[in-house]
A and B are shown apart, each in its own frame.
Chain A
Amino acid sequence: MLVAQLQSGLGLVANRAAGGDFELAHDVCQEALVIIIRRLRTTGLENPAMLAAFAAQTARNLVIAARRKTQRQRTESYAETIEAIADPRPAAQEQLSAGRIAAILNRIVAELPGERDRTVLIRFYLKEDDKSDICRDLNLSELGFNQVVFRARNRLRQLLIESGFEKGDLLDWESCP
């Protein structure tokens, strides 16, 4: 129950704090949940209403700690060697999950009824164009725009769950079977 309530929000906090490093965000999210549960089972919180704030700060602190740890482990003499050995690509499991997400999105894009809907998604999500600009360029009402995004989002949710992503685990790409 607690996990279901906090996981999505914690994922967002951790993702932003980690600068979009999904692997780190995933680890931090899990670790933060463990810390929060332990804390609640032992000393508890002085003000239970501050649970969300405590969770967010825990996630941010964990990201900072992870970054410091990485900095400490990086020594001048070995830095180049490590960089030469380390594979810069994402872990295999993450690559697999990312590939499945991409496949799902490819399917969603292919299912779109027209080129205009496709353009809406690409401009809005990928190019991060302003909504009003997109509506003006495509001669689209705000309602029409919202419908396109709403339909795509719902289809994504449906396909993700069908593909084995548990509800609330959408940022947890490694959790898919």
Chain B
Amino acid sequence: MSGTLPLPPDEATVTAYLSNQLPEPQAEAFEMYCLDHPEFARMVELDLTMKRGLREIGMRDLKPRAALRYRPPWAIAAALAAVIGCGLLWMWSPWRAELVAYRSPSEVPLQLRAGVHVDMTFLRLRGSDTAHRLVVPRRVGVLQLKIYPDTAPGRDGYSADLALDSIVGTRSVILDRLRTDADGFLDLYLPLSAVVGHTLNVTLTADADSSAAPAPAFRLQVVAATD
């Protein structure tokens, strides 16, 4: 035992003690001082607790948090303007417009008919949904959906719910009073520009007794070859 220290150990000594860097005789003298001076010992305990606690939290959690850093007012104003701008852009974007679908070729506008024509045939598998991926050569043109319903039509024929999913929401349109052609298929037409890059969900119901059979659900992901 090397006896007690005459004076309170300085900060460097405390730090060295807490880091186990004091030579044994000095460490023992330090501890003797702590035993003789409870208040000082409590302060060292707090430091030790601080070290242990910070170690518990871990280095990863204590890295500077970018979100809490100071941001100059102009940066905040710029960010705010960008958010408002994006909102306005979205409000005026075509995505806000309603989805348009046509029941017959004669309804399809001329400019769409001048573009490419892509057709997709859906055959309902009883009790199960189907999913497809369609690659189209261009964005300008028309997509023809040929759907074969295997349930009897209702009094008013069939009703088709067409919905487009995207990260900003869902656009949908319901076409009712649909009748099959002589070949048993229902034909629907959509602008390619509206569906490219999105997933189209088609649900067909016999509107008069829609509870009689499960609604056929088709899912079609449309991408452009140039994407």
Q: Which residues of chain A have a CB within 8 Å of any CB of chain B? A: 4-13, 15-16, 22, 51-53, 55-57, 98-99, 101-102, 104-106, 109, 115, 118-119, 121-122, 124-126, 128, 131, 146, 152-153, 156-157, 160, 167-168, 170-171
Give Cα A10 to B47, complex, Å: 15
Chain A nearest CB from B117 CB (Å) reads: 62
Does B174 make an interface contact (CB < 8 A)? no
Chain A nearest CB from B83 CB (Å) reads: 26
Which residues in B have their C-beta under 8 angstroms from that of A16? 20, 27, 31
Interchain CB contact (< 8 A) of B31 among A12, A22, A104: A12
Which residues in A have their C-beta under 8 angstroms from that of B183? none
Which residues in B have their C-beta under 8 angstroms from that of A153? 43, 46-47, 50
A105 near B47 with CB under 8 A, answer no
Which of B53-61, B89-97, B148-156, B210-218 participates in binding chain A? B53-61
Give Cα A9 to B43, complex, Å: 10
With contacts A52-B36, A102-B56, A106-B61 known, is A12 near B1, CB below 8 A? no
Contact-residue size bin, chain B (C-beta under 8 Å from the other chain) = 35 or more
Q: Which 10 A-B pairs have the closest CB atoms?
A: A9-B35, A8-B41, A52-B35, A105-B53, A9-B34, A102-B56, A9-B41, A170-B45, A101-B53, A126-B54
A168 near B38 with CB under 8 A, answer yes
Main secondary structure, interface of A, reads helix
B45 near A126 with CB under 8 A, answer no
Which residues in A have their C-beta under 8 angstroms from that of B20? 16
Q: Give the one of B11, B32, B50 with max A CB within 10 A.
A: B50
By beta carbon, the residue of chain B nearest A106 is B57
Does B221 make an interface contact (CB < 8 A)? no
By beta carbon, the residue of chain B nearest A160 is B49
A8 near B15 with CB under 8 A, answer no
B49 near A9 with CB under 8 A, answer no
Chain B nearest CB from A85 CB (Å) reads: 26
A98 near B56 with CB under 8 A, answer yes
